[in-house]
Amino acid sequence: MFAAVMKLVSFLILSAAICHAQNGSLPNDYNSVSTDGLISNSSRYNTILRVDNGTYGPQLEEVHYFYKYWPVGIAVSSQGRIFVTYTRGEYDYTLAEVANKTSERPYPSQDIQLAPDQLNTTFNGIPFGSDNASALNSVQALHITPASSTRPETLWLIDTGRPTIQDSTGSYTMPYAQPGGPKLIGISLDNDTITDTYTFPPDVHFPDSYLNDLRFDLRPTINAAYLVDSSNEGRPGFIMVNLTTGDSWRRLSYHPSVLVDYNALPVYQGHPWYYRNPNQPRSFFREGLDGIQISPDGAYIYYSPLSSQNLYRVPTANLLAPTSDPLSEQAASNNVSWLGQRGGPANGFEGDTNGRIYMCMPTQNAVFYWDERDLGVHAFVRDPRIIWPDGASIGQDGYIYVIVNQLPYMDTWNNGVNARQYPGTILRARLPDGGSKITGLV
């Protein structure tokens, strides 16, 4: 049934795109073949042949260099403050603010960050993450919401409660989560103090859940957070939080659209890439629901598994429907739309005021975007320096900031051999057509 629905959706999308083109409503560049990055007669390569030099798009600026820890998440404030996260097992802190070009400082302080030996406990021989709801365990993602009449500009973060550790065999693993460890936290950027903490009941966040990303609609009639559970062990899906009542619930758990494309073999820097965790059989990297972005009007959530080429969206009304409605889950499932493939697996998402959905593309060393004007995927920026773009943040300055962390070269992927080379980096590029951060959902 799902396959039949997807075929119908594909036909409707294609028909709509044809109608747009026939009506002449698209700019010329949407109907042309891009040759950006292709050069001819290059003395650098000592050839008269045409060469792909690996780049296209706007100029990339190197904003920051990481020399201590490898970053994952990023958020940029209206004042240009940059915050980053580090998922951890051995790092001294998991949330930091960029201090200068080459260093960061624990944020909001070192005191709130659990020490490495406090990250997990063991019950009956089974490791569990800390249940401390007042301290930071392993922060995955960040998002900043603009100031409003009722709330200051706020840095939101999700703590997975599940640090990565090495077991007795040397393999890397994540302890199970226990209530209190996984949480959603809001920090006022006016005074750098915690203003909100939300934890989850065990029937919403499972021991094998993994919080991955987050978006918000803070308009008074909504006031909700949309969180991603990307668990590759259990039931990936969405977790919603009513920020007024603190209630939370799940939707689309284990729906086909949130699942991995099993046994897909990606290519990084021209090399086919298997997942090689020490002392475990060679396998494939598998991560379900990962990227998430809300539309400027708050009507849709766009999303995708990481290990997949497919892009989907679902009406936010279906995610927000009360669980007391016996048809809420069925309605959400029925209203999932497949928007087509994008040309590779995608990691972090972002979105701008023009409605474009930006997607970090690790196998392409690039950032692509999906545009509702023609229902197609387009190139934005490609550069050999973009070695695994992990997280992204659009600032009110009209730039997209991208974390580059060389993830496929970490020791957990390479039989315990760490092939990463410092520095990691934050790169930024100016958005096209005056695009900027979405600020209307407050």
Please write the tens of the pLDDT for every residue from 360-392: 999 999 999 999 999 999 999 999 999 999 999
Please write the tens of the pLDDT for every residue from 2-47: 444 444 444 444 444 434 433 434 444 455 556 666 565 556 678 8
Asked if the structure places residue 139 within a domain, the reply is yes
In whole angstroms, what is the distance from residue 282 CA to residue 293 CA? 33
Percent with pLDDT over 90 in the chain: 75
- Only one residue has tokens 């092939």, namely 419
pLDDT of residue 23: 40
* Number of separate domains in the chain: 1
Of the candidates 186, 184, 221, which has an alpha carbon nearest to the alpha carbon of residue 204? 184
Largest CA distance in the chain: 69
Asked if the structure places residue 417 within a domain, the reply is yes
Q: When comparing pLDDT for 209 and 16, which is higher?
A: 209
Asked if the structure places residue 42 within a domain, the reply is no
Please write the tens of the pLDDT for every residue from 224-258: 999 999 998 889 999 999 999 999 999 999 999 99
336: tokens are 């999932």
Asked if the structure places residue 2 within a domain, the reply is no
In whole angstroms, what is the distance from residue 49 CA to residue 418 CA? 37
Average pLDDT score over residue span 180-204: 98
CATH of the domain at 98: 2.120.10.30
Asked if the structure places residue 12 within a domain, the reply is no
Asked if the structure places residue 440 within a domain, the reply is no
Average pLDDT score over residue span 141-166: 95
State the average pLDDT for the chain: 90
pLDDT of residue 329: 97
pTM, two decimal places = 0.91
Asked if the structure places residue 13 within a domain, the reply is no
Residues 6 or more apart in contact with residue 317 via CB below 8 angstroms: 299
Helix (H) or strand (E) holding 3: helix 2-22
Asked if the structure places residue 247 within a domain, the reply is yes
Question: 319: domain range?
Answer: 49-430
Give long-range contacts, CB 8 A cutoff, 24+ apart: 266-272: 266/344, 266/345, 266/362, 266/363, 267/363, 268/362, 268/363, 268/387, 268/388, 268/408, 269/365, 269/387
pLDDT band for 406, please (50, 70, 90 cuts). Answer: very high
pLDDT of residue 44: 65
Average pLDDT score over residue span 285-309: 94
Average pLDDT score over residue span 326-350: 96
CB 426 within 8 A of CB 403: yes
